[in-house]
Amino acid sequence: ILPAGKSELNIVYTIYGSGDIVVDTRFTPGMKLPDLPRFGMQMQIPGRFNKMTWFGRGPHESYWDRKTGAAIGIWEGSVEDQIHPYIFPQETGNKTDVRWVTWTDSQKAGLLVVGMPGLSISAWPFTMQDLERAEHTFDLNHRRQITVNIDHKQMGLGGDNSWGARTHPEYRLPAKPYQYRFRLRPLDGSEKEIDTLIHADLPGH
């Protein structure tokens, strides 16, 4: 656990009659805080929303310092398919440069997330605590909820020039003020043109 010091986190939720929610997050670090592993938010959604569609880098996972081999496009697949079966369970399934993403069920109901402008996104059929405790991939029991990570950014993986090497400085998140925004929109399955929702104009935005 990182020492928090006197860090400040301010989150403003702006709710519109359309059902859209704009989330504005601002972080001011305390003194002597080390580099951040990631800056973002996490939540859980019902497990039935297990179809993931996104406009960003794919189809495989990508990270800040591991993304040039992932093409930008519209990709889709199950949440389970985004998990890489590493021998030792670890951070997995991240997508970079994501402009929007949906998680939906068989009736196309679910959740739309739109970056303002871009995000790093991942979704797991287990919790972060499960991931931290597991010693083998088969230890990761799939839960009834999906854990969704909506990040401004997370630090690169490092290890490119020698095993265990630190992340290059340009791919780290130093302790400094950060701010990012994204929009949430519930989907009831009746939407014909998702593009219209993605580019919807909201007052003040």
Residue by residue, pLDDT tens for the chain (205 residues) are 656 568 899 999 999 999 999 999 999 998 888 999 999 999 999 999 999 999 999 999 999 999 999 999 999 999 999 999 998 999 999 999 999 999 999 999 999 999 999 999 999 999 999 999 999 888 898 999 999 999 999 998 887 665 667 889 898 999 999 999 999 999 998 887 788 889 888 876 6
Residues 6 or more apart in contact with residue 28 via CB below 8 angstroms: 7, 8, 9, 177
Q: What is the pLDDT of residue 26?
A: 98
Which pLDDT score is estimated for 160? 67
Q: What is the pLDDT of residue 32?
A: 83
pTM, whole model, 2 decimals? 0.91
Which CATH number does 9-159+168-198 carry? 2.70.98.10
pLDDT of residue 183: 98
Q: What is the pLDDT of residue 2?
A: 59
Q: Where are the domains of the chain?
A: 9-159+168-198
- What per-residue confidence (pLDDT) applies to 1? 60
C-alpha Rg value of the chain to the nearest Å: 17
pLDDT of residue 127: 95
Contacts 24+ apart (CB under 8 A), 123-130: 123/52, 123/79, 123/82, 123/93, 123/147, 123/148, 123/149, 124/79, 124/83, 124/92, 124/93, 124/149, 125/47, 125/50, 125/79, 125/80, 125/83, 127/44, 128/42
Query: Contact at 8 Å (CB) between 95 and 148?
Result: no
